[in-house]
Amino acid sequence: MAANSATPPSDRRFLIIFDFDETIVNESSDDVVVQAAPGQNLPAWLKDTYRPGHYNEYMQRVLAYMAEKGVPESAIRSVIEKIPASPGMLALFQFLRHRPPQDFEVVLVSDANTFFIESWLRRVGARQLFVKIFTNPATFDKDGRLVLRPFHSHSCLRCPENMCKQVILRDYVMRRTQERGRPFQRVFYVGDGANDFCPSLILGPRDTAFARRDYPMHRLITEIHEARPGEFKAVTVPWASGDDVVERLRKHAEEK
């Protein structure tokens, strides 16, 4: 589900894409939501149903279990809203918000879900920063159950079956280039996980992959540089704080 259907303005110079879990927020929202479950824990039989590559299906079962146990929407929203932002991330949002409007088109691509992301962004007052949010749709049904669905299907062997961020990024950049009549000057991708490595593979030499230092995305980029030099095209900037991202973005924003 892509929240926001209106076409963004066509004058933005740069595109910046954010992941959510362990990038914007400092924890995994899927892990945090368990704090709203009875005893703040899940039964072993439920945990044992997880299969690699099928995390979305697993979370559907987790949310169904929580509904059966009577966990209300307010309890889920409360634990999600309390997740701390990653270091320097709110300062990065402030930087983007105060740049001239023609600088950055800001997009979010996440394997979390609409309810978690929208709840958190609204709490910190950052929802309006994002022109598009690509994530798994999640809505409460009449029985009070948070129903989670997959974002799409794809054929990428690297990614979980419900989401390939490379497919999303490629389609978005292609569509926006057609709508704008020209490409973005640069594309920036801010992430941390293995599923953020996949979209970073299609970035070009003018683009930047901001990989959270010592997280899977950073390690995978380091490995590909060592194993197949020259294959990974983007500039890689490891980040420990949003301040590291601001520093690099400021330099590019001052380019003419």
* pLDDT surpassing 90 at residue 15: yes
pLDDT of residue 121: 98
Neighbours of 17 (CB within 10 A): 26
pLDDT of residue 251: 94
* pLDDT surpassing 60 at residue 64: yes
Lowest-confidence region among 88-97, 136-145, 158-167, 193-202: 158-167
Cα-Cα-Cα-Cα torsion 46, 51, 55, 57, nearest 10 degrees, comes to -70
Q: 228 and 254 in contact (C-beta within 8 Å)? A: no
Return all residues near 121 (Cβ < 8 A) that are at least 6 apart.
Answer: 127, 129, 130
Q: What is the pTM of this model?
A: 0.93
DSSP 24-64: TBSS-HHHHGGGGSGGG---HHHHTT--TT-HHHHHHHHHH
Q: 29 and 120 in contact (C-beta within 8 Å)? A: yes
Q: Could you give the residue numbers annotated as active site?
A: 19, 21
List binding-site positions.
19, 21, 30, 111, 192
**Alpha-carbon distance 210 to 36, whole Å?**
32
Cα-Cα-Cα-Cα torsion 167, 132, 160, 89, nearest 10 degrees, comes to 120
Q: Residue 49 has which token pair? A: 């149903």
Q: Using one digit for the tens of pLDDT, what is the confidence trace for 200-253? A: 999 999 999 999 999 999 999 999 999 998 889 999 999 999 999 999 999 999
DSSP tag of 129: G
List binding-site positions for substrate.
30, 111
List binding-site positions for Mg(2+).
19, 21, 192
CA dihedral (216, 220, 226, 231) positive or negative: negative
Question: Tokens 């595109």 label which residue?
Answer: 15
Q: Kindly list the distances between the CA atom of residue 133 and the CA atoms of 8, 128, 140, 199, 206, in Å, as whole numbers in the listed order.
A: 12, 11, 19, 16, 24
By C-alpha distance, which of 229, 156, 242 is closest to 199?
Answer: 156
pLDDT of residue 57: 86
